[in-house]
Amino acid sequence: MNTDEIYMDRCIEIAQKGKFHVAPNPMVGCLFVSNDVIISEGYHQKYGGSHAEVNAYQSIPSDIDPKTCDVYVSLEPCSYHGKTPPCSDLLIKIKPNRVVIGCLDPNPKVSGAGIKALEDAGIHVIVGVLEERCEQLNKYFFKVQKFNLPFVTLKWAQTKNKFMARKSSSKESSKISDSRNDSYVHELRAIHQAILVGSNTVNTDDPLLNVRYSEGNDPLKVVLSPNLSVDCKKQLFSVGRTLIYNKTSNELFDNYQLIKIDPFNIEGILSDLFERGIHSILVEGGIQVIQSFLDSDLWDEAIVIESNNSWDDGQIAPLLNSSPVSLKQAYNDNITIYNKK
Ligand code: AOF
Ligand code: ZN
């Protein structure tokens, strides 16, 4: 890595400290560097709170002139008044030596306008340092800004011989993944704004779908139940809020809401969730629901947790025809991540 990349790598690292609190905003990290020394660091900590550039600027020691600094920031500085004022105005006021940017902000309200404002003010700007990693850091945000649809992560566990669930008549335990990976799964729940399952999963497993083994907030719960066969007495309905997508009814209850989608299809459901401000969804099953996302081609990433034990029979997991982008061993499981394309 060259010097600019080393500093950008640090921006990416500190940006991630905001991962449980900034959604649907992006995670952003920023450094002020002078004479090859990091003078201050800042990251976007909380949705609605000040941006990375402001936080970094505010921690510059009083004996340092920010004009002498190079500013590193993982996302193009914003150029419009949102919940906070434009970071490009702050940087123009400081007029640092250079501004080094990881990637463009895909938000149509910014999208190059932040860079233009800095350049028009005579600031030396460099764009595209560790660009792919900076974009990947905010893959949910990029998907939403470009396509007006939420980012969809499919997640399931399968045995070594590819069974994902027991036969419906079976009384045997259906737990597949190593319990030591529960914190990983719960972190996945916490970094998505919604968690989605089908009515069979609710009726059969009676899951809570909340975050218990990780830091972070509980996602909004979403149940697909085209014929309203879901049992609303199950425990997930006793806490938080749940949306039930179905073919026939719109109705509001204390803890859940029925939402009619006609014709009932994944695209209609995702558009409705997007309209409700949901930008990332973790699909946790079961087989039919995951298969319907695969069939409609409306998914972005699949995370498959494969245990090293086998079952005699069961229901076969979906088959993916994408190549894996990463594979890691975690306790007794292998976790493989696939991208749609
Ligand atoms: C930055 N630095 O740290 C972040 C940026 O409503 P606001 O004011 O919080 O603005 C949100 C938008 O600002 C968000 O959609 C994205 O375009 C940009 N995020 N920009 O310069 C930051 N988090
Ligand atoms: Zn900003």
Do 201 and 326 lie in one domain? The reply is yes
In terms of DSSP bridges, do strands 29-34 and 37-43 run parallel, antiparallel, or are they unpaired?
A: antiparallel
Q: What letter would DSSP give residue 318?
A: P
Using CB atoms within 10 Å of the CB of residue 208, give its burial: 0 to 12 exposed, 13 to 18 middle, 19+ buried.
Answer: middle
Q: Are 31 and 10 in contact (CB under 8 A)?
A: yes
87 lines ligand 1 (CB under 6 A): yes
The reply to whether 186 and 312 lie within a common domain is yes
Q: Could you tell me the residue range of the domain that residue 249 belongs to?
A: 148-339
Asked if residue 82 and residue 180 are part of one domain, the reply reads: no
Is residue 279 within 6 Å of ligand 1 at its C-beta? no
Does the pTM exceed 0.75?
Answer: yes
Q: What is the pLDDT of residue 170?
A: 84
Phi, psi of 121 (to 5 degrees): -85, 5
Tens of pLDDT along the chain (341 residues) come to 999 999 999 999 999 999 999 999 999 999 999 999 999 999 999 999 999 999 999 999 999 999 999 999 999 999 999 999 999 999 999 999 999 999 999 999 999 999 999 999 999 999 999 999 999 999 999 999 999 999 999 999 999 999 999 988 788 888 999 999 999 999 999 999 999 999 999 999 999 999 999 999 999 999 999 999 999 999 999 999 999 999 999 999 999 999 999 999 999 999 999 999 999 999 998 999 999 999 999 999 999 999 999 999 999 999 898 989 999 999 999 999 999 97
Give 287 Cα–ligand 1 centroid separation in angstroms.
37
Q: Is the CB of 52 under 6 A from ligand 1?
A: yes
Residue nearest (by alpha carbon) to ligand 1 atom 21 = 77
Task: State whether 182 and 135 are in the same domain.
Answer: no
Same-domain pairing of 26 and 130: yes
Give residue 143's pLDDT. 97
Question: Of 139, 168, 184, which residue sits at a domain end?
Answer: 139
Q: For residue 105, give the ligand nearest its CA.
A: 1
- What is the DSSP track for 247-283? SS--EE-SSEEEEE-SS--HHHHHHHHHHTT--EEEE
For 249, phi then psi, to 5°, come to -125, 145
Atom of ligand 1 nearest to the CA of 107: 17
Which CATH number is 208's domain given? 3.40.430.10
266 in the same domain as 168: yes
Task: Give the position, in ligand 1's atom list, of the atom nearest the Cα of 77.
Answer: 21
In this prediction, residue 323 carries a pLDDT of 87
My answer on whether 112 and 173 are in the same domain is no
User: Which of 275, 11, 320, 307 shows the shortest CA–CA distance to 173?
Assistant: 307
Q: Structurally, how many domains does the chain consist of?
A: 2
Q: Both 209 and 256 in a single domain? A: yes
User: 26: Cβ below 6 Å to ligand 1?
Assistant: yes
One domain, residues 275 and 158: yes
Kind of pairing, strands 301-307 and 333-339?
Answer: antiparallel
Between the CA of 83 and the centroid of ligand 2 the distance, in Å, is 9
What torsion, rounded to 10 degrees, do the Cα atoms 74, 78, 79, 85 define?
Answer: -130
Catalytic annotation, residues: 53
**Closest ligand (CA of 73):** 1
pLDDT value at residue 168: 80
Ligand nearest to the CA of 84: 1
Backbone angles phi, psi at 33, to 5 degrees: -125, 130
The verdict on 33 and 130 lying in the same domain is yes
Q: Cα of 77 to ligand 1 centre, how many Å?
A: 8
Helix (H) or strand (E) holding 137: helix 131-137
Question: For residue 237, what is the DSSP state?
Answer: G
**Domain closes at, from 83, 114, 139:** 139
Q: Exposed, middle or buried: residue 160 (CB in 10 Å: 0-12, 13-18, 19+)?
A: middle
pLDDT at residue 341, rounded to an integer: 75
Same domain, 162 and 49: no
156 with 51, same domain: the answer is no
Q: Which of the listed residues 14, 16, 25, 145 should we mutate to test ligand 1's pocket, taking the one with most ligand atoms within 8 A of CB?
A: 25
- Ramachandran region, residue 337 (left: φ > 0; alpha: ψ -120 to 50; beta: rest): beta
CA distance 266 to 271: 9
144 lines ligand 1 (CB under 6 A): no
Q: Which of 88, 119, 139 is the last residue of a domain?
A: 139
Nearest atom of ligand 1 to the alpha carbon of 85: 8
